[in-house]
Amino acid sequence: MDAVNKSLSDAERLNRLRLIRSDNVGPRTFNSLLHHFGNARGALERLPDLARRGGADRVARICSEEDARGELAASQRLGVGLLAPGEAGYPPRLATLDDAPPLLGVRGSLDASMRPMIAIVGSRNASGAGLKFAGQLARDLGEAGFVIVSGLARGIDQAAHRATIRSGTVAVLAGGHDKIYPPEHEDLLAAIIEAGGAAISEMPLGHVPRARDFPRRNRLISGCALGVVVVEAAHRSGSLITARMAAEQGREVFAVPGSPLDPRAAGANDLIKQGATLVTEAADVIHAIEPIMEHPVAFPLSEPDGERLAGDPQADERAHHKPARPKPGVDRRFDPDGRNVVRHRPHRAA
């Protein structure tokens, strides 16, 4: 990863764009090539030879300099910056992933995409109660200083975005910045940008999102965040894929419980059974992620009449209220279908 705040030269940015837009080059391959050849220009020069050595039947398409310059110019006209990991505006936690986008299209406030984020995702066909809770949770987390990141989808995503337009929210797009999905959320995205939020995408301009693009987008949602909160998710929901990716990325996973009679809550309830942190208020999220934050989070707690509640217990008090820990030898992991996978590690000989 590039050093923090280091900016690419115009020539290197152009060559990196050409490399990542070439056939058969994804984020991991890109990083391997960059590490091996030292820069994108060297990698581009060797691509044809590498393809032949790999037994390719035909020469892979290499993005032309003309096409790359055209994309850079079109992005600039739309207000989109193509940023590399380590540059200002590229979400810091996303930059730590092995498959982080080599160039990320960022539109809007660079400050918003650099601040600590919490992801809120859930059902597109959400209940009224689910929408209300997602909005309240997002609003409280926003007031505590977090940027809310989500996927601009119908249902829970849009509720979380709308509730944090003023405090800061980041929309992760499955298509290009000029191909917003769903189309009816173009006004919502415009409001987010105007209020100081941001939108990010790894896709080129003109790319219309397809079904397979949404899991790719979901890894960016979880990758940007300290943790992911799932509010209403049915079995085999895309939100459960986001939860699985969050666990694989080392992010915290949270779930809001729902009625056992509501299929929209089945996935979130299963996540809780698997070990996800149960969430009924913003404080549940904040207390879980505070240990990995550099600075404690100031979250004003008060009774309905305005009287402040007692603060967190001191160290000697916490010693009497230790949370339960998993039994030794048990490894809990998330599964995209919402099933609990428990593996017992073999005991080692002394």
327 located within any domain: no
pLDDT of residue 81: 98
Q: Quick one: average pLDDT of 315-338?
A: 39
| Residue 165 and residue 228 in one domain | yes
Find the range with the poorest average confidence among 109-123, 227-241, 333-347: 333-347
308 located within any domain: no
pLDDT of residue 58: 64
Whether 339 has a pLDDT exceeding 80, the answer reads: no
pLDDT digit string, tens, across residues 61-91: 899 999 999 999 999 999 999 999 999 999 9
Number of domains composing the chain: 2
Whether 323 has a pLDDT exceeding 90, the answer reads: no
pLDDT of residue 236: 85
**Unique residue bearing structure tokens 């119908």:** 154
Residues 102, 17 contacting (CB under 8 angstroms): no
Mean predicted lDDT score pLDDT of the chain: 85
Q: Quick one: average pLDDT of 112-139?
A: 97
The domain in which residue 23 lies consists of 10-81
321 located within any domain: no
Residues 199, 97 contacting (CB under 8 angstroms): no
Measure Cα distances from 77 to 74, 140, 142, 148, 208 in Å: 5, 35, 30, 27, 19
103 located within any domain: no
Under the banding of pLDDT at 50, 70 and 90, the label for residue 313 is: very low
| Residue 50 and residue 188 in one domain | no
**Unique residue bearing structure tokens 């030794």:** 328
Highest mean pLDDT among 257-261, 301-305, 306-310, 323-327: 257-261
HSE, side-chain direction, 13 A CA sphere, residue 197: 30
Q: Quick one: average pLDDT of 199-207?
A: 97
pLDDT digit string, tens, across residues 140-188: 999 999 999 999 999 999 999 999 999 999 999 999 999 999 999 999 9
Residues 217, 320 contacting (CB under 8 angstroms): no
- Supply the pTM of this predicted model: 0.82
| Residue 54 and residue 193 in one domain | no
| Residue 74 and residue 171 in one domain | no
Measure Cα distances from 182 to 75, 155, 198, 207, 280 in Å: 21, 11, 17, 14, 29
Q: How many CB atoms lie within 10 A of CB 105?
A: 22
pLDDT top residue among 50 and 155: 155
pLDDT of residue 330: 35
| Residue 50 and residue 195 in one domain | no
Using CA atoms, how far apart are residues 64 and 327, in angstroms rounded to an integer? 56
Residue 264 DSSP label: G
Whether 215 has a pLDDT exceeding 60, the answer reads: yes
Under the banding of pLDDT at 50, 70 and 90, the label for residue 328 is: very low
Q: Would you state the structure tokens that stand for residue 70, as one six-digit string?
A: 């055209």
